[in-house]
Amino acid sequence: MLRGLFVTGTDTGVGKTVVSAALLHRFARVPALRYWKPVQTGIEQDDDTADVVRLSGVGDDRVVDAGVRLPRPLSPHLSAALAHTAISLAPLMDLAWSRDDTTHWIVEGAGGVLVPLNEHDLMVDLITVLGLPVLIAARSGLGTINHTLLTVEALRARAIPIAGIVMVGEPNPDNRIAIETRAHVTVVGELPRLDPLTPEALQAAATAMTGFAELDSYFS
């Protein structure tokens, strides 16, 4: 069984990559920590692995830059079909299980948990076979209560452990309370939109999120 966290989002563009880089800052002390994006679409315009390397300041040895890489910025199943290929879970599992047992993972998903990977599998099926607890990246603003509760419900329907939620954007105490009260999941961090978004600013923000201490057990 793998150790670490799977970072999913309530939607695309919600901040999963920045949250993943913040985790790399927070747990930089873990010697066998690795970031991995198994499925990336729109790779020619949007390389999340490169963004994580830049924002976290980690070396290439902390990144597993392998997996499905597709050109069009679309849902994985559609991007694969237009590239005349298909996504299979088996090669991705082989990549994960080929690593040393001491590895601690920060795995970033593509889109939300119900994004299709192929004709049969969703992103949540990849999460299930990896066996990692999930950290949810959610927007802080309008609409986040519905999107976050639906994400929590989809994960719980498959008995997938939820490590917590990180809300990205301007702090919104009312939305935080509503999510924690109804989802019964702790918001372990509130990550503001950083402008400029630099490694130094992200490191400071990650350090300020004291709730990240609740994630320590996943990296020990």
Please list the active-site residues: 37
pLDDT at 109 over 90: yes
Distance separating alpha carbons of residues 12 and 79, to the nearest angstrom: 15
CATH architecture of 3-219: 3-Layer(aba) Sandwich (3.40)
Helix runs in 27-88, H state only: 48-56, 76-82
Domain-wise residue ranges, the chain = 3-219
Q: What is the pTM of this model?
A: 0.97
- The kind and range of the H/E element at 63 are strand 63-64
Please report the pLDDT score of residue 126 as a whole number: 98
The tens digit of pLDDT for each residue in 128-186 reads 999 999 999 999 999 999 999 999 999 999 999 999 999 999 999 999 999 999 999 99
**CA angle at 102 for the pair 187 and 35, rounded to the nearest 5°:** 50
- The predicted pLDDT at position 76 comes to 98
What is the pLDDT at residue 163? 98
What is the tens place of the pLDDT at every residue in 3-54?
Answer: 999 999 999 999 999 999 999 999 999 999 999 999 999 998 889 999 999 9
